[in-house]
Amino acid sequence: MSPTTPGSPTRATGPSPRAATAGTWVLPLLLLAPLAVIGLLVESPSTPWRVVSWVLWGLSAISTFAGWTTVARHGMRAPAAWVMCVAVHAVLAWRLLVLVTE
């Protein structure tokens, strides 16, 4: 068997076709976008907004965890994916800090 045959014990090195891409990190950023925008526009959010904020932050954290399971299983495909990953984690930490201190 050649090294690139799917059933071969020694596969060719390189990222898996299912490796994490920049798109892996889009869902968490989309979930955090409303939090960031409204958080910047409103000084003291109402109680319902705080509940919605925690729910969106939790969903974003879960989808970030799902992204990391993809990275752990299949690796990361390109440097752009790492940039998106860092952006997601920075916004996630920033919003957590804001939510905790409100």
56 versus 44: the higher-pLDDT residue is 56
Q: Which of 19, 32, 18 is nearest to 82 (CA)?
A: 19
DSSP letter for 50, please.
H
Domain parsing of the chain, residue ranges: 22-101
Q: Which of 41, 56, 44 is nearest to 95 (CA)?
A: 56
In the predicted structure, residue 12 carries a pLDDT above the cut 90? no
Q: How confident is the model at residue 2 (pLDDT cuts 50, 70, 90)?
A: very low
Q: What is the pLDDT of residue 8?
A: 45
In the predicted structure, residue 79 carries a pLDDT above the cut 90? no
Q: How confident is the model at residue 50 (pLDDT cuts 50, 70, 90)?
A: confident
Instruction: Give CA angle at 55 (44, 53), nearest 5°.
Output: 20
Q: Which pTM was predicted?
A: 0.70
Return the number of other C-beta atoms located less than 10 Å from residue 8's C-beta: 11
